[in-house]
Amino acid sequence: MQPTAAPWAKKAQDETPAAPPSRSTMAPPPPPDTGTRAPWVKAGDPAAPMAPTAAPWAKPGAGPAAPLPAVSRGELTKAPWAAASGYSLAGHSVDAAVAHAEPRLPEVGSTDFSSHAFVPAGKRIHTAEQLKQFLGSDTARDFVCFVLALNEAVKGKQLSDRCEESEAVGKLLALLDTLGRWVDEIPPAAHSLRYGNPAYRTWSARLAEQAPQLAASVLPPELQAAAVELAGYIANSFGDAPRIDYGTGHETTFCALLYCLAKLGVVGTDDAQALVTRVFARYLQLMRKIQTTYWLEPAGSHGVWGLDDYHFLPFVWGSAQLVGHPFIKPSSIQSGEVLDGYAGEYLYLAAVKFVKQVKKGPLQETSPMLIDISGIPSWPKVNSGMVKMYQAELLAKFPIMQHFLFGSLLDFQPGAAPRRAGGAASDAEGSAGSGTGGGMAAQAGPGTAVEGVGVAKQADVA
C-alpha cells in the first residue's frame, strides 16, 4: 500500500533526486563575512554590512577611542580627577602640605591669658593665595604638630586601654553627652527624602544658642573669657544647618577646638591619649548618631573615590592605633569577623564598618580606595600616608579651608610674611606666588589643592 501523500505535495518529490555535483564543479565558498549583519541576511548576500551602532552623543568622524589602559590585579585604582603627577597612598609618593611639622602640643605659658583679648572665631581664608600663605605659616605647622602629637600618643593603643582622664576631659565628655541627649529630645520630622531631615536645623539652632555656655562649661574660672572664642568652634563642629550637611571640614573644626584648649593649657601632654581614645571617640559616636538620625548630606563627597563621605581623622589616628598589632593587618578590613570583633577598639576598623553600613554594596565597589590601601603591607606605612593625605586632601583644599575658623588662639593674618622653621620671616617667601591662584598645584579631587610654602620632600610610603 502506497503511503498517503499530502494533497499539496509536489509531484517532483516522487522523482529520483539528481546526483550531487562533483567537487570540481562546485563554486568556491564565499569570503568570510566580517561585517555586522542582521541575523536574517544570507551569507552570500552582496549587500554592505550594517554600520556599527554609535552612541547618540558620539561626534561624527571622531574615530575609534583609545582603549583604556589595562589594570593588573592589585594595582592602585586612581580617582578620575587625580593628576598624573599627583600623590597617592598605595604605591606612589605622598606630599606633606606643611613643612617641618613634628609631634608636639602647643607651647603653654608664653601668653598671659588673664589680660588676653579673645575674639570671636571667624573665616580668614578667602583666596587660594591666602591658603598658600596659611600653609607656610607657624599656625599651620603648629596645628599639624598637634595632630601628630595625638597620633603618636595612640600608637598601639586600644580605645579601652587605661589612660589619664583629667577634669577637662571629663567636661568635654559631658558636653558631648549633652548634645547626644538633644538628639533624643528632637526626633526627625516626617520627611519624604532620605537625606536632609529639617529637624536637624532645630537641633543646630539650639547648639548655636547655647554654644557660649557649652564653651564656658569646659573652661576653668580664670579662663571664662575664652568662651567667646571657643563658642564658634563648638557651633561649627557638628555640621551646617542651612545645607543640612556634614563633612571632614567640620571634623577638622572639632580638632581645632581641642587645639585651642591645648593652647590655653586646659589640656596637656598627659591628656593626649584620652583626647583621641575618649573625647574624639565619643565625638564620632555622636556624629554617627546625628548622621543616621537626621541623615545629613555629605559635604563635598568624593563618592567612591574617597575614604569616607564624612570623616578622615579616624583613618589617621585609627591606623596609628594598629601600629604593631600582632595579627590585624591592613588587609584585615576585608574580613567581616575582624570588623565585628574589633571595631569597638580601633577607630580605623569602626570607620570601615560604618562605611559598609551607610553604603550599600561590596567594599570593592563602594570604596575602592580603602581596598587599595588594604594592599599596603604594614600599618606604619598606612599611617604615614594618612597623615600626609590629611594635609593634602583637607588642609590644602580651598573649598574646605575657606570655612576654617581663626581667632587669637589659632591665629592667621593673611598677608603676613610666612616664617621659616627657625622663626625668621622671609621677604622672598612672603612675596612668592603673588596673585590669585599663584603656585597652585594640580587638582587631586573636587576643589583646589594649593602648593604649600616649603613643601616637604616626598616620602615613599608604598
Which has more pLDDT, 195 or 374? 374
CATH number at residue 291: 1.20.120.1150
Is residue 72 one of the residues assigned to a domain? Answer: no
pLDDT of residue 194: 73
55 DSSP 8-state letter: P
**Poorest-confidence range of 160-169, 258-267, 361-370, 450-459?**
450-459
Is residue 412 one of the residues assigned to a domain? Answer: yes
Which residues are CB-contacts of 462 (< 8 A; sequence separation ≥ 6)? 90, 91, 92, 376, 381
Length of the chain: 462
The pTM of this model reads 0.72
> Could you please report the per-residue DSSP string of 246-293?
E-HHHHHHHHHHHHHHHHHTSS-GGGHHHIIIIIIHHHHHHHHHHHHH
pLDDT in tens, 199-258: 999 999 999 999 999 999 999 999 999 999 999 999 999 999 999 999 999 999 999 999
Cα separation, 144 vs 106, in Å, equals: 10
Most confident of 17-31, 257-271, 306-320, 359-373: 257-271
Query: Can you list the pairs that 9-12 forms with residues at least 24 positions away whose Cβ atoms lie under 8 Å?
Result: none
Cα separation, 98 vs 425, in Å, equals: 16
Region 391-408: mean pLDDT is: 95
Identify how many contiguous H helices and E strands the chain contains and give both numbers. Answer: 16, 6
Is residue 436 one of the residues assigned to a domain? Answer: no
**Range of the structural domain that residue 309 is part of:** 129-155+164-419
SS3 assignment, position 339: helix
Is residue 276 one of the residues assigned to a domain? Answer: yes
SS (H, E, C) 135-165: HCCHHHHHHHHHHHHHHHHCCCCCCCCCCCC
pLDDT of residue 423: 40
Burial tier of 210 (Cβ tally within 10 Å: 0-12, 13-18, 19+): middle
Is residue 175 one of the residues assigned to a domain? Answer: yes
Is residue 424 one of the residues assigned to a domain? Answer: no
Is residue 47 one of the residues assigned to a domain? Answer: no
Q: Point out which residues pair with 233 in neighbouring strands.
A: none
Please check whether residue 236 is in contact with residue 250, taking contact to mean a CB–CB distance below 8 angstroms. yes
Which has more pLDDT, 131 or 104? 131
Is residue 311 one of the residues assigned to a domain? Answer: yes
Percent of the chain with pLDDT over 90: 56
pLDDT in tens, 40-96: 545 555 554 555 554 444 444 544 545 444 444 444 444 443 333 334 555 445 566
Three cell numbers written together for 259:
587645639
The total number of structural domains that make up the chain? 1
